[in-house]
Amino acid sequence: MAVRLPRPHRFDVYIAIGGLLGGLLLVGIGLGTRTAKDPITLFDGPWPILVPLTVMAGCELLRRAAPRTALLIGTPAICADVFTQGNLATVLMFTDIMYAAVLYGPLATARRIQWITGLLTVAGTLVPFAVWRVPEALLIGVVVGVVAYAPAATGYIVRNHRDAAEAARLRAEQTALLAEMDRAQAVTSERARMARELHDMVANHLSAIAIHSTAALSLDDPKTSQEALSVIRENSVEGLAEMRRLIGILRDAGGDTEPAAAPTLDGLEALVAGARTNGLDVHLDAEPCRVPAPVELAAYRIVQEALTNALKHASPGRVTVILTQLDDSLRVAVTSPFGDREGPRAPGSGAGLIGMRERVELLGGAFEAGPVDDPDSADGKIWVVRATLPVNEGDSR
């Protein structure tokens, strides 16, 4: 099975070719790091220099693709170069291989190389001086430090800066991603809020219009048709006013105009009066309440939606609206007769109960809606909508 060698980086190829050509040029002009008379030179002449030079140039091809392999091969080559007349290009390429092994190799290898080259530098300084007892022996440690430890330390510093920059980039991308997720969530929440507001403002009027228009079409009575058309016109005007108010708020991006005031609990009397005009027998029992604006708006919309559902679905009978403020909450209860409604009915989408529940959950309250046994009712059951809205005294008006 053939061994597949890693493909060298293009820049590494340039370094290898440049180092090899530079080394050959130094050999051609006869410039070496030692003379033939040096005691450590075992192989004199130009040809022994070419072996470590060529091996080191081949290691440069692997400086990025396989840095540890390049260092393992390059270390015996630099040791062999010591016993020749030496070549400066071989030494420079070895320092680059040491640098690349720390920069591109695994983190554990980079730390291990730091320790090994540091110990070799200390040993190269102390051992020769202890043996020969001459100041010149200290230069051996200096050479070892320059050739081995200095490039390893430089590579480790560059690696730390590179890793820090990469970590900062990843944090920036993560922050941008979280910001985009928050923006998308905010847009979704705002769309849901707008949908609830639009449904709560317009559904009541459109339901009344649908019921009375059906009645006007089904009954051949001019007086009844005239009354139904009057109610239709009144609800149409009110629904259009509510629609214009919401559209005006959405269009007002510059804040040049003051937005219309949100409904308050003081408007429950008018809301109940409108329900009576639409044909509901409504009884309101609401004590004066001082609650925060979000709680007040939620309570108003819950009562509005409950009356709309009663208008569309409840059988004839009394509808009761009760608001009670406790120390830590506002309780809203709306009861209506439970049973099939006679006569025209308005279609329902099922979004009313969902919208009420969402309003209550956003405030951290409790909500329930459904039929409840009632012996006093003609059908033995009534439909009850109950909501408990927490009150934060610090936010109250």
Amino acid in the structure at residue 167: A
Q: Answer whether 124's CB lies under 8 Å from 141's CB.
A: yes
Question: How much of the chain, in percent, has pLDDT values that exceed 90?
Answer: 38
**pLDDT band of 260, cuts 50, 70, 90:** low
Question: Residue 340 has what pLDDT?
Answer: 63
CA distance 36 to 113: 33
Buried/exposed 98-110: b ≥16 CB within 10 Å, e otherwise: bbbbbbbbeeeeb
Average pLDDT, the chain: 82
CA distance 257 to 21: 78
What are the tokens at 83? 């016993």
Instruction: Answer yes or no: is pLDDT of 393 > 60.
Output: no
CA distance 355 to 301: 9
Question: Residue 119 has what pLDDT?
Answer: 95
Instruction: Answer yes or no: is pLDDT of 396 > 50.
Output: no
**pLDDT band of 397, cuts 50, 70, 90:** very low
What are the tokens at 281? 């027998």
Once rounded to an integer, what is the mean pLDDT over residues 284-301?
86
**pLDDT band of 25, cuts 50, 70, 90:** very high
Q: Answer whether 3's CB lies under 8 Å from 44's CB.
A: no
Question: Residue 227 has what pLDDT?
Answer: 67
**pLDDT band of 297, cuts 50, 70, 90:** confident
CA distance 342 to 332: 28
Report the range out of 196-210, 211-225, 267-281, 293-307 with the highest average pLDDT. Answer: 293-307
What are the tokens at 330? 């506002």
Buried/exposed 292-328: b ≥16 CB within 10 Å, e otherwise: beebbbbbbbbbbbbbbbbbbbbbebebbbbbebeee
Once rounded to an integer, what is the mean pLDDT over residues 316-329?
88
Q: Among 74, 76, 121, which residue's Cα sits nearest to residue 99?
A: 74
Question: Residue 256 has what pLDDT?
Answer: 47
Q: Which residue has the higher pLDDT, 322 or 359?
A: 322
Q: Which residue has the higher pLDDT, 317 or 17?
A: 17
Question: How much of the chain, in percent, has pLDDT values that exceed 70?
Answer: 77
Once rounded to an integer, what is the mean pLDDT over residues 282-289?
86
Q: What is the 3-state secondary structure (H, E, C) of the chain?
A: CCCCCCCCCHHHHHHHHHHHHHHHHHHHCCCCCCCCCCCCCCECCCHHHHHHHHHHHHHHCCCCCCHHHHHHHHHHHHHHHHCECCCHHHHHHHHHHHHHHHHHCCHHHHHHHHHHHHHHHHHHHHHHHHHHCCHHHHHHHHHHHHHHHHHHHHHHHHHHHHHHHHHHHHHHHHHHHHHHHHHHHHHHHHHHHHHHHHHHHHHHHHHHHHHHHHHHHHCCCHHHHHHHHHHHHHHHHHHHHHHHHHHHHHHCCCCCCCCCCCCCHHHHHHHHHHHHHCCCEEEEEECCCCCCHHHHHHHHHHHHHHHHHHHHHCCCCEEEEEEEECCCEEEEEEEEECCCCCCCCCCCCCHHHHHHHHHHHHCCCEEEEEEEECCCCCCCEEEEEEEEEECCHHHCC
Instruction: Answer yes or no: is pLDDT of 257 > 60.
Output: no
Question: Residue 104 has what pLDDT?
Answer: 94
Instruction: Answer yes or no: is pLDDT of 337 > 70.
Output: yes
Instruction: Answer yes or no: is pLDDT of 351 > 80.
Output: no
pLDDT per position as a tens digit, 51-89: 999 999 999 999 999 999 999 999 999 999 999 989 999
Instruction: Answer yes or no: is pLDDT of 207 > 60.
Output: yes
Q: Answer whether 359's CB lies under 8 Å from 196's CB.
A: yes
CA distance 34 to 132: 20
Instruction: Answer yes or no: is pLDDT of 344 > 60.
Output: no
| Angle at CA of residue 242, ends 241 and 247, nearest 5° | 95
Instruction: Answer yes or no: is pLDDT of 164 > 50.
Output: yes
Of 61-65, 307-311, 334-338, the one with minimum mean pLDDT is 307-311
CA distance 51 to 76: 11
Instruction: Answer yes or no: is pLDDT of 139 > 70.
Output: yes
Q: Answer whether 231's CB lies under 8 Å from 277's CB.
A: yes
Instruction: Answer yes or no: is pLDDT of 33 > 90.
Output: no
Question: Residue 229 has what pLDDT?
Answer: 67
Of 84-88, 200-204, 309-313, 315-319, the one with minimum mean pLDDT is 200-204
Instruction: Answer yes or no: is pLDDT of 110 > 90.
Output: yes
Question: Residue 286 has what pLDDT?
Answer: 85
CA distance 105 to 93: 17
Helices 67-82 and 47-60: crossing angle in degrees, nearest 10, is: 170
Instruction: Answer yes or no: is pLDDT of 295 > 50.
Output: yes
Q: Among 240, 241, 359, 380, which residue's Cα sits nearest to residue 305?
A: 359
What are the tokens at 313? 């679905």
| All residues at 6 or more sequence positions from 175 whose CB lies less than 8 Å from its CB, including other chains | none
